[in-house]
């Protein structure tokens, strides 16, 4: 079965990934990863993360995929050695110099070649394989046919990883300079401001009478914004292409997002292992689950040729709203850390590893005083919810999204 690899931008997301079925997680330290704005892990947190992951029989891959300067290489090597000594299962590296240096200086550390390395052909893949890569995370611009061709040319001991879900870039596997040029925040240094997602009007100066076609709706015009990737309906084709690991994008996402998407793909992979018929039968419901979490409109990326549409994804949409995180049970009631407003009488859903559990909110009490409440609206507040169901710490609640505006899923 293919590995399911989920993002862990911080401890909550890591716990969600493990609880909801990831086989492995990937996350970064405070330096040298490509998500500087994520929570990431300090060394004490890294030790706790590894204890949790390994205690659950899962794996942790450390992101060291920044493009480093000369004066950063020695510290990167030292970080890699310390992480290796602590027990990380692999490091994800993009820079060829860093890769070769780590192979020489920390030979016991398994190395995965990041998608940032833009491996798009058998020659590149073979180079990394010959120099000790355990896995190659292929460029997101490849079709399944090209991936299958690369798989056939690699030794079996070298695995292939590819993205299955999440945000895409308007650049070769993230190597974009828009953020650097526009506001001085380096995308290849972990500080991308995502200017490709901003609203633009575009006119080519020599062709004023040939306006660029743009996708437009009530939110605005998003010419550069790529559609999200969603390959839920095509897992058998990814398996048949020889992909060993399916990667969910999203180290900037919430624990609720990680839990929802991980659970959907875990369910799909488990059903596929039983039979393709069982997997196909569940797809409509599973796709509906993905729409309940914040997402852009999606397509299948480059896996079947040029993305259609190639750009124009507007803001986020969700059919349900993240209402809160369950922090435990208290005298038969759910203890909840509030995220968004909900009321007595609302029909909510508890997102649990065993599936959704719908219920009507019967009573709400303040956790600190026991005071009865008709509604909650303060993010971070702890309340007790009389739901008549069982759920556990680390599960999530979602409720009606009264502002939902649907987006088309391709």
Q: Count other Cβ atoms within 10 Å, centred on residue 330.
A: 13
Q: Which of 55-59, 222-226, 262-266, 287-291 has the lowest mean pLDDT?
A: 222-226
Q: Does the pLDDT of residue 175 top 70, yes or no?
A: no
pLDDT band at 400 (very low <50, low <70, confident <90, very high): confident
Long-range pairs for 104-112: beta carbons < 8 A, 24 or more residues apart = 105/77, 105/80, 105/81, 106/77, 106/80, 106/81, 107/132, 108/84, 109/80, 109/81, 109/83, 109/84, 110/134, 110/135, 112/61, 112/136, 112/137, 112/161
The DSSP line for 40-64 is -B-HHHHHHHHHHHHHTT-EEEEE-
Q: Does the pLDDT of residue 221 top 60, yes or no?
A: no
The CA-based angle 238-261-51, given to 5 degrees, is 100
Q: How many residues does the chain have?
A: 410
Nearest to 21 by CA among 9, 3, 38: 3
Q: Does the pLDDT of residue 146 top 80, yes or no?
A: yes
Q: Does the pLDDT of residue 72 top 80, yes or no?
A: yes
Query: What integer pLDDT is reported at residue 222 of this predicted model?
Result: 58
Query: What integer pLDDT is reported at residue 178 of this predicted model?
Result: 67
Query: What integer pLDDT is reported at residue 206 of this predicted model?
Result: 80
Three-state secondary structure call for residue 409: coil
Query: What integer pLDDT is reported at residue 410 of this predicted model?
Result: 42
Q: Does the pLDDT of residue 401 top 80, yes or no?
A: no
pLDDT band at 325 (very low <50, low <70, confident <90, very high): very high
pLDDT band at 193 (very low <50, low <70, confident <90, very high): confident
Mean pLDDT, rounded, of the chain: 88
Query: What integer pLDDT is reported at residue 34 of this predicted model?
Result: 60
The architecture (CATH level 2) of 320-400 comes to Beta Barrel (2.40)
* Whole-structure pTM value: 0.86
State the average pLDDT over residues 60-65.
96
- The residue whose two tokens read 């947190």 is 45
The dihedral built from the CA positions of residue 408, 166, 140 and 147, taken in this order, carries a sign that is negative
Residues 61, 250: Cα–Cα separation, whole Å:
14
The two structure tokens encoding residue 99: 């890769």
Q: Residue 31: what are its φ and ψ, rounded to 5°?
A: -130, 160
Q: Does the pLDDT of residue 133 top 60, yes or no?
A: yes
Q: Which of 54-58, 298-302, 348-352, 395-399 has the lowest mean pLDDT?
A: 298-302
* Domain limits, the chain: 3-172+226-299, 320-400
Residues 28, 36: Cα–Cα separation, whole Å:
9
- The residue whose two tokens read 């509030």 is 338
pLDDT tens for 82-103 read: 999 999 999 999 999 999 999 9
Q: Which of 16-25, 181-190, 332-341 has the lowest mean pLDDT?
A: 181-190
Query: What integer pLDDT is reported at residue 296 of this predicted model?
Result: 79
Q: Are 3-172+226-299 and 320-400 the same fold in CATH?
A: no
CATH code for the part of the protein at 3-172+226-299: 3.20.20.70
Query: What integer pLDDT is reported at residue 247 of this predicted model?
Result: 98
- The residue whose two tokens read 């991308």 is 192
Q: Does the pLDDT of residue 408 top 60, yes or no?
A: no
What is the percentage of the chain residues whose pLDDT exceeds 90?
70
pLDDT tens for 266-294 read: 999 999 999 999 999 999 999 999 999 98
């Amino acid at each position: 079965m293919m590995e399911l690899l989920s993002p862990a931008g911080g401890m909550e997301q890591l716990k969600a990934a493990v609880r909801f079925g990831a086989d492995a997680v990937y996350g970064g330290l405070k330096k040298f990863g490509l998500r500087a704005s994520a929570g990431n892990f300090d060394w004490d947190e890294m030790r706790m993360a590894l204890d949790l992951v390994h205690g659950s029989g899962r794996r942790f891959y450390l992101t060291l995929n920044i493009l480093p300067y000369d004066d950063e290489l020695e510290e990167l090597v030292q970080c890699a050695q310390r992480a290796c000594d602590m027990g990380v299962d692999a490091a994800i590296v993009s820079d060829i110099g860093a890769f070769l240096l780590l192979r020489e200086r920390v030979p016991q550390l398994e190395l995965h070649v990041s998608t940032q390395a833009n491996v798009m052909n058998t020659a590149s893949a073979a180079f990394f394989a010959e120099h000790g890569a355990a896995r190659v995370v292929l460029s997101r611009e490849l079709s399944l046919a090209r991936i299958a061709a690369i798989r056939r040319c690699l030794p079996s001991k070298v695995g292939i990883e590819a993205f299955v879900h999440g945000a895409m870039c308007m650049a070769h596997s993230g190597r974009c300079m828009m953020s650097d040029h526009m506001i001085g925040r380096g995308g290849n240094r972990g500080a991308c401001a995502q200017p490709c997602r901003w609203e633009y009007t575009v006119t080519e100066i020599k062709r004023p009478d040939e306006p660029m076609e743009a996708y437009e709706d009530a939110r605005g015009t998003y010419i550069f914004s790529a559609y999200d990737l969603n390959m839920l309906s095509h897992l058998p084709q990814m398996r048949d292409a020889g992909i060993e690991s399916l990667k969910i994008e999203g180290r900037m996402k919430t624990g609720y997002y990680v839990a929802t998407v991980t659970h959907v793909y875990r369910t799909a992979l488990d059903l596929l292992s039983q039979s393709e018929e069982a997997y196909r039968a569940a797809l409509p419901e599973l796709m509906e689950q993905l729409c309940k979490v914040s997402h852009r409109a999606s397509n299948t990326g480059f896996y079947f040729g040029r993305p259609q549409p190639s750009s124009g994804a507007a803001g986020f949409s969700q059919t349900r709203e993240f209402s809160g995180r369950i922090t435990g049970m208290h005298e038969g009631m759910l203890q909840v850390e509030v995220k968004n407003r909900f009321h007595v009488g609302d029909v909510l859903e508890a997102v649990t590893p065993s599936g959704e559990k719908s219920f009507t909110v019967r009573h709400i009490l303040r956790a600190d005083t026991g005071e009865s409440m008709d509604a909650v609206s303060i993010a971070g507040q702890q309340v007790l919810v009389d739901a008549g169901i069982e759920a556990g710490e680390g599960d999530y609640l979602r409720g009606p999204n009264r502002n939902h505006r649907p987006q088309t899923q391709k």
